[in-house]
Chains A and B, each alone.
Chain A
């Protein structure tokens, strides 16, 4: 049976799409409120620090950020192709590398908190 690497790419993509659909709008709304000058109490340093220091908080933050990054990288790769960029291998390499780099960076930042 022919083996394909596609499931490896597809699972985080589908999981990331679901995470983006469910979580990103409300997180965006929170930072939008902060941008408009109404910083929600939950975004205070103290509260964010306590949340990001807990095991569950770290897991939630890393899950949301890493899956969203991976899904976005895959979607941006498709978007590049749809806009006429035919260097797909290059786009895939750059975008997936960026997603992996961002995920590792997130893990390092979380470990420092």
Chain B
């Protein structure tokens, strides 16, 4: 004789409104939509670059449309949010043990933030922003 199976009621499309932490999880999930769309934009940019100077200038001009500006703003917020949550998670995902004790988690996340800042500054410098 088998026991009555446990059936958890879970509305498939609205479950994340039940708990603030589910909403925080979903707010991170939707950053993937913006990052994914931006990856497509990168591939298109690569195509324009391969097509020559005129196509590339056209690509840069298309970036200046109002829709593109709004998209870039939203995508930048999403990308920074994704990066910050990713680095915050590193201390849980790869705890570092030296001898008997663990390296403090904030040190691991902090090192990632520092590397992120240095890398971003180097890229901005190489791109001639400053």
B-contact 0/1 string along A66-93, CB 8 Å cutoff: 0011001101101100111010000000
| Min CB–CB distance A51 → chain B (angstroms) | 9
Give the distance in Å from the alpha carbon of A76 to the alpha carbon of B78 in the complex: 14
Give the distance in Å from the alpha carbon of A109 to the alpha carbon of B79 in the complex: 25
Contacts of A22 in B (CB 8 A): 83, 115-116, 119
Could you tell me how many residues of chain A have their Cβ less than 8 Å away from some Cβ of chain B?
Answer: 52
The answer, yes or no, to whether A32 is at the interface (CB within 8 Å) is yes
In the complex, chain B residues 50-101 whose Cβ is within 8 Å of any chain A Cβ? 50, 53, 56-57, 60, 63-64, 68-69, 72-73, 75-76, 79-80, 82-83, 86-87
Would you call B43 and A102 a contact (CB within 8 A)? yes
Could you tell me how many residues of chain B have their Cβ less than 8 Å away from some Cβ of chain A?
Answer: 49
Binding site of B, secondary structure by majority: helix, strand, loop or mixed?
Answer: helix
The answer, yes or no, to whether B111 is at the interface (CB within 8 Å) is no
Which of B30, B36, B38 is A28 in contact with, Cβ under 8 Å?
A: B38
Contacts of B80 in A (CB 8 A): 25
The answer, yes or no, to whether A21 is at the interface (CB within 8 Å) is yes
Would you call A37 and B64 a contact (CB within 8 A)? yes
Which of B41, B57, B124 is A29 in contact with, Cβ under 8 Å?
A: B124
The answer, yes or no, to whether B106 is at the interface (CB within 8 Å) is no
Q: Decide: A41 near B127, CB < 8 A? Known: A31-B63, A48-B49, A49-B49.
A: yes
Binding site of A, secondary structure by majority: helix, strand, loop or mixed?
Answer: helix
Q: Decide: A109 near B46, CB < 8 A? Known: A45-B56, A79-B32.
A: yes
**Hey, which bits of chain B sit against chain A, CB under 8 A?**
12-13, 16, 26, 29-30, 32-33, 35-36, 38-43, 45-47, 49-50, 53, 56-57, 60, 63-64, 68-69, 72-73, 75-76, 79-80, 82-83, 86-87, 115-116, 119-120, 123-124, 126-129
